[in-house]
Amino acid sequence: MRLFVLLGFLGCSTLAQGAVKNLILVVGDGMGYGQVKAAGMYFHGRDGTLNFEAFPHKGDMTTASASDKVTDSAAAATAMATGVKTINGYVGRDAKARDVPNITEIAKLAGKSTGLLTTVAVSHATPAGFGAHEDFREKTNGIVDSLLSDARPNLLWGAATEINPEWAQYKGYSLISTLSEMENLSPDLGQRRIAGLFGNNELAWEQDPQGQAPRLHQMTRKALQMLSTDPDGFFLLVEGGKIDWASHHADLQKTVHEVKGLEQSVGEILNWMEGRTDTLLIVTADHETGGLKVGSSRGVRNLPEYQWTMPKASDGTLSHSAANVPVYAIGAGAEAFAGSLDNTDIFHRSIKALGLESIHRIMSQNL
């Protein structure tokens, strides 16, 4: 009890001093430079034309894990969420399998509201890395229990796989399962926790009919409406998880549409940020998938010249690459995310911008 009282005190004091009140991290899973370039060419006829490419501060980020120069999504998410390198497959644990505090937990103890949004299962590697602790990414039951018991984000929205609705309700979450239910939520978040269990295993591909589940940009718009009612601010993760899936299958048509869906979500955030000086927005990727190389444009609504360069795995899919990935930042404190970065820098520079380093030190002192 004494630790939590101290953490609450530190949270109040740092919030008064920190320049950044709200932090929004947008992650395109598998979205390397090639995926960004191809999407710009397909939708606008030339590269450099996506909204986040116009951000004033840009970085180039390394992604290696503690176990391999080619990371998986679990280790990459853990690095960005905790500032700690770990072994491929680990979620929210360091290379010695010890639980390490993540930014969602730190923000919660600082009194901020939190949200994790994704187009894939909420137990998938990226949201798991930002809210759970487990020694293998496929232990979905343990990941779900950790998400609902440890980080306990106010908003946990994505595909419904592996979450038992009754268990979520037992853990204090109310449930929604359709776009209309989401849109009808009261904007006043308060202390509520809401699990958005949409679809079955994934949300619809951006190029396919939508169905009853929301698109990522619709989830983003509603989440901002609700999280921004917290006077202490918020942390929000927005993941375009199916950029990775499309790239694994060498499907550039699906890839560019998924990047476009991510860009629409960024557009919602930029609209919400207009006139604000208290919010930091970062757009990046956990790794690159497929080794995509893009050549010349073939014009709007035509795929550019391209080549997938990574070898196929035994299941016929393309593997991740060790390529650096882009970072784009705008808003309060965005200058810290320019230049050469490592994925662990996303965490360390984020909590510094938020003024939450003291809470992180206390949570980490027994490691």
CATH number of 7-364: 3.40.720.10
Query: In 3D, which of 297, 262, 258 has the Cα closest to residue 283?
Result: 262
DSSP H helical segments within 147-295, as ranges? 165-170, 179-183, 216-227, 242-248, 252-273
Phi first, then psi: what are they for 103, rounded to 5°?
A: -65, -30
Query: How many angstroms separate the CA atoms of 121 and 129, rounded?
Result: 13
pLDDT (tens digit, 9 = 90+) per residue, 27-48? 999 999 999 999 999 999 999 9
Query: How many angstroms separate the CA atoms of 203 and 92, rounded?
Result: 25
Q: Are 89 and 104 in contact (CB under 8 A)?
A: no
Counting Cα atoms < 13 Å in the Cβ hemisphere of 81 gives 36
Return the domain boundaries, the chain. 7-364
Q: What pTM was estimated for this model as a whole?
A: 0.94
Q: What is the DSSP string of 75-88?
A: HHHHHHHHS----T
Query: In 3D, which of 106, 79, 93 has the Cα closest to residue 23?
Result: 106
* Chain mean pLDDT for the chain: 93
**Collapsing DSSP states into helix, strand and coil, what is residue 322?**
coil
Q: Are 82 and 133 in contact (CB under 8 A)?
A: no
User: Each residue's pLDDT tens digit in the chain (367 positions)?
Assistant: 233 333 444 444 334 355 799 999 999 999 999 999 999 999 999 999 999 999 999 999 999 999 999 999 999 999 999 999 999 999 999 999 999 999 999 999 999 999 999 999 999 999 999 999 999 887 888 899 999 999 999 999 999 777 888 999 999 999 999 999 999 999 999 999 999 999 876 799 999 999 899 999 999 999 999 999 999 999 999 999 999 999 999 999 999 999 999 999 999 999 999 999 999 999 999 999 999 999 999 999 999 999 999 999 889 999 999 999 999 999 999 999 999 999 999 999 999 999 999 999 999 987 6
Query: How many angstroms separate the CA atoms of 175 and 195, rounded?
Result: 5
